[in-house]
Amino acid sequence: MCGLAGFILNGNSPSDNLDFINNKMIETIVHRGPDDLGTWSNSDQGIGLSHCRLSILDLTEAGHQPMHSTSGRFVLVFNGEIYNHLEIRQKLQSINSALSWRGRSDTETFLSSIEVLGLEETLKMAVGMFAFALWDNTSQKIILARDRFGEKPLYYGFSKKNFIFGSELKALKAFPGFDNGICRKALTKFIKLNYVPAPMSIYQNIFKLEPGMLLQLDSKMLGQEKPKIIKYWSYEEKAKKSLNNPYQSKEEAFDSIALSLDSAIKSQMISDVPLGDFLSGGVDSSLVVANMQQNSMSKIKTYTIGFDNKDYDESEHAQKVSEHIGTEHFTLHVSAHDALEIIPSLPEIYDEPFADSSQIPTYFVCKSAKQSVTVALSGDAGDELFGGYNRYIWGPKVWNAAKFLPPSLRNLAAQSLQAFSPKILNTGLSFLNISRPGDKIHKLSQALTETNSMNDFYSNLVSEWNTFEPLIKNDSDNNFNFEDKFLDGLDGLSSAEQMMLIDAQTYLPDDILCKVDRASMAMSLETRAPFLDYRLAESAWRVPHAMKIKGNDSKWILRELLYKHVPRHLIERPKTGFSIPLGEWLRGPLRDWAEELIDLRRLENDGYFYPEPIRNAWSQHLAKTNDHSAKLWSVLMFQSWLDLSN
């Protein structure tokens, strides 16, 4: 895993300080690759490329970047891993037996494939996670690309007509003279979703390259033409194609998914450095760990996080799963004091406002793993591919029951459900096999308010500030209507399938994968997600929906595969997610920190928020009449980020 940065100067910018700019940009993200640093520039073209390397495959100088192709035509900076690079090498060798290799790195394989077979064919063959910048000396074009699911980040944009790009925003901000203002529309989206959705970034004229996208820019046309963006792989198209070719039997589905997962895990266990796995004790991570251990001659190292609050603590479950599988297990207990110590660093780690509060345990589990390994596998994406989130089960049921009611009655029913606090409901409904049912009832009821379609309902389910009261100042999108027609054009899919398809293209890359990338890279730890092998993802859509969600059981096919390795009683329990007792912490040890950030006078002076809704939510939260921790966290993370960016 690595970091990259680069620029192309417009004709009016001086080109005699390219090395200075290169170093200034890459030094901001050296945590992504502390093992090696490299730069390259061409003063005639005003271009600079820089790279910092975390050595995983081929630890020698042969893996140094920027890397030049044998002919000298291409210069590449690459972040990620190509898991099937040895297969690609064999194919290249069969085409040209005279090919010689400098080393064993997947970057060299990737670059040689581009030169021999072309970029399009190379992208088709590549199985892995990546973001890269490729300079073509012949055409004088820069090409940026990002992997199919967006595991690796890549920002790009313009500052004073100069084209700049990098793995993290801090590299772009280091470009001399960067003064791009905050994008109010992006801020509005962030407050709703707890992350800034691609292609936007928090800054004006700076963007995220979306998953499966390729960008081309002719340096000779800089300032005259916009970058050309091409979608080289479409998740939606692949999913629909797979749906039209379903598995014909339960046995065929089981065998295919088991084989695909086994193949993905084996390929991702290839490493020249120590390797481990995150283990929560849930279905996805347990299945990955069980498979890894089956394919390993030694004990796999596994890591989990624990909390004092038993409602959020899954460490005991993870420990039992570890004991059954036979891994070498490590548990790190995180307290509110630990969280308070890391919170000031979160804006620096996450680079732009980011408010999924599981960023805190994610950081700590990465910190724990880095003590003994350099690569860690995870169970990420199992939920999006196999129907793991509660909203896939309860969302359609609630909407189908409520959609025939007049809007006034729907709103009344929603308000009635909210008459009791989540805490009271959690206690009263404790007999249900559901984790924190009161919180979920409140979320569902809030989502029903002012809802006229399944699209509205889904948009509300994935949003926090579901209010029509203005919150962001000076933004035309301030009415909080979700203008993105998430579920349009997806006819023929069930509501749950539509939500899964959209989540995999939005929530997964912009929240889950972003969270893990920033936390792991802050620790110089590489993470890998076997479920995101695109061949497994395509196979998942061939599995009939009834084998994913069966009654109230999510990820049914994965559970059945797991029970061949782990007893059912170790797994069957309510899904909690990787969450923390944030509500309690904000009323306790984090209260003074939060109060300072959302002080009435400060909010007014900063000029981004209307203070009243925030102060009202804070008062209700402190009084324990509502748990507003998720929506307050988004404001707190922005305010904390603003402190750092000013």
| pLDDT (tens digit per residue) in 136-176 | 999 999 999 999 999 999 999 999 999 999 999 999 999 99
Give the pLDDT mean for 424-444.
70
Q: Is the pLDDT of residue 563 over 90?
A: yes
Q: Which residues are within 8 A (CB) of 406 and not within 5 positions of it... i.e. 6 or more apart? A: none
Q: Is the pLDDT of residue 467 over 80?
A: no
Give the pLDDT mean for 276-290.
96
Q: Is the pLDDT of residue 364 over 60?
A: yes
Structure confidence at residue 340 (pLDDT) = 85
Q: Is the pLDDT of residue 478 over 50?
A: no
Which of 227-231, 442-446, 482-486, 591-595 comes out lowest in average pLDDT?
Answer: 482-486
When comparing pLDDT for 644 and 576, which is higher? 644
Each residue's pLDDT tens digit, 197-211: 999 999 999 999 999
Structure confidence at residue 414 (pLDDT) = 74
Chain centre to alpha carbon of residue 503: 11
Which of 1-5, 89-93, 553-557, 639-643 comes out lowest in average pLDDT?
Answer: 1-5
Mean pLDDT is highest, among 257-271, 334-348, 475-489, 565-579, for 257-271
Structure confidence at residue 479 (pLDDT) = 43
Structure confidence at residue 480 (pLDDT) = 39
DSSP-based three-state secondary structure for 14: coil
Structure confidence at residue 435 (pLDDT) = 65
Using only C-alpha atoms, the chain has a radius of gyration, in whole angstroms, of 24
Q: Is the pLDDT of residue 466 over 60?
A: yes
Kindly report the length of the chain.
Answer: 646
Instruction: Report the C-alpha dihedral over residues 20, 22, 27, 32, rounded to 10 degrees.
Output: -170
Given 3-state DSSP classes, what are the helix, strand and coil percentages for the chain, each rounded to the nearest 5?
45, 15, 40
Residue 468 banded pLDDT, cuts 50, 70, 90 = low
Angle between helix axes 514-522 and 359-370 (nearest 10 degrees) is 40
Give the pLDDT mean for 433-455.
74
DSSP-based three-state secondary structure for 275: strand
When comparing pLDDT for 19 and 314, which is higher? 19
Which of 24-28, 74-78, 573-577 comes out lowest in average pLDDT?
Answer: 573-577
Structure confidence at residue 459 (pLDDT) = 87
Each residue's pLDDT tens digit, 625-637: 888 999 999 999 9
Each residue's pLDDT tens digit, 112-131: 999 999 999 999 999 999 99
Return the DSSP state at 612.
H
Beta strands in 193-270 (DSSP E): 206-208, 213-218, 228-231
Residue 58 banded pLDDT, cuts 50, 70, 90 = low
Q: In what order do the strands lie in the sheet with 155-159?
A: 36-42, 47-53, 2-8, 162-166, 155-159, 206-208
Structure confidence at residue 185 (pLDDT) = 93
**DSSP for 57-78, written as a single string:** S--SGGG-SSEE-TTSSEEEEE
Rounded to whole angstroms, the Cα distance separating 181 from 204 reads 6
Give the pLDDT mean for 306-311.
79
Q: Is the pLDDT of residue 482 over 70?
A: no
Q: Is the pLDDT of residue 12 over 80?
A: no
Q: Is the pLDDT of residue 433 over 70?
A: no
Structure confidence at residue 308 (pLDDT) = 78
**Paired residues of 42 in beta bridges:** 47
Which of 26-30, 204-208, 286-290, 466-470 comes out lowest in average pLDDT?
Answer: 466-470
Structure confidence at residue 46 (pLDDT) = 94
Average per-residue pLDDT in the chain? 90
**C-alpha neighbours within 13 Å on the C-beta side of residue 51:** 27
Query: What percent of the chain stands above pLDDT 70?
Result: 93
Structure confidence at residue 485 (pLDDT) = 43
Backbone angles phi, psi at 617, to 5 degrees: -65, -40
Each residue's pLDDT tens digit, 392-424: 998 898 888 888 888 888 778 777 777 776 777
Task: Report CA-CA distances (Å) from 242 to 99, 148, 495, 497, 593.
Answer: 37, 16, 17, 13, 49
**DSSP for 323-369, written as a single string:** HHHT-EEEEEE--HHHHHHHGGGHHHHHSS----TTHHHHHHHHHHH
Structure confidence at residue 456 (pLDDT) = 83
Residue 469 banded pLDDT, cuts 50, 70, 90 = low
Q: Is the pLDDT of residue 487 over 60?
A: no
Give the pLDDT mean for 581-585.
90
> What would the two tokens of residue 205 be?
């004229």
Q: Tokens 């730890």 correspond to what residue?
A: 525
